[in-house]
Structure 1
Amino acid sequence: MTMRIGIISDTHRFTAAIDKAIPFLQDCDLIVHAGDNVDDGEYIEAMTDIPVVAVKGNCDFYSDPGNDEEIFTAEDKKIFVCHGHRYGIKYTLVDLYERALDLGANIVIFGHSHVPCYEEVKGVIFINPGSTSLPRGGSSKGLGILDIENGEINYERIKI
Structure 2
Amino acid sequence: MKLLVVSDSHGDRDILVDLKQQFAGQIDAWFHCGDSELAADDPLWQTYHVVGGNMDFDTGFKSQQVIAVGQYKVFLAHGHRYQIKQSLTALALAAREVQADFAFFGHSHELGVIENDSTLFLNPGSISQPRGQYQSLGGTFAIVTIADSGDVTVTFHTRDGQVVDDLTQSFEKKA
Asked if Structure 1 and Structure 2 have the same fold, meaning a TM-score greater than 0.5 normalized by the shorter chain, the answer is: yes
User: 1:38, 1:54 within 8 Å by CA — same for their partners in 2?
Assistant: no
Structure 2, unpaired ranges of 5+: 160-175
1:145 aligns with 2:143: yes
Partner of 1:84: 79
- Which amino acid is the alignment partner of residue 3 of structure 2? I
SS at match of 1:59: coil
2:33 & 2:154 partners in 1: Cα distance?
16
SS at match of 2:133: coil
Q: Report percent identity of matched pairs.
A: 28
How many residues align? The count is: 153
Alignment of 1:7-86 (within 5 A): 7-18=5-16, 21-26=19-24, 27-37=26-36, 39=38, 42=42, 44=44, 51-60=47-56, 62-86=57-81
After superposition, the C-alpha distances for 1:22-69 in whole angstroms (9 at most, x for unaligned) are 454322122100000263783645xxxx72100000111x21311011
Partner of 1:104: 99
2:43 & 2:129 partners in 1: Cα distance?
18
Runs of 4+ more than 4 Å apart:
none
Structure 1, unpaired ranges of 5+: none
SS at match of 1:126: strand
Partner of 1:128: 123
Q: What is the alpha-carbon root mean square deviation over aligned residues?
A: 2.0
- Which amino acid is the alignment partner of residue 82 of structure 1? A
- Which amino acid is the alignment partner of residue 84 of structure 2? I
The structure, 1 or 2, with the larger RCO (C-alpha pairs under 8 Å, 6+ apart) is 1
Shift of 1:117: 0.8
Moved more, 105-114 or 30-39: 30-39
User: 1:113, 1:130 within 8 Å by CA — same for their partners in 2?
Assistant: yes
2:144 & 2:88 partners in 1: Cα distance?
20
Moved more, 134-143 or 32-41: 32-41
Q: What is the TM-score of this pair, normalised by structure 1?
A: 0.85
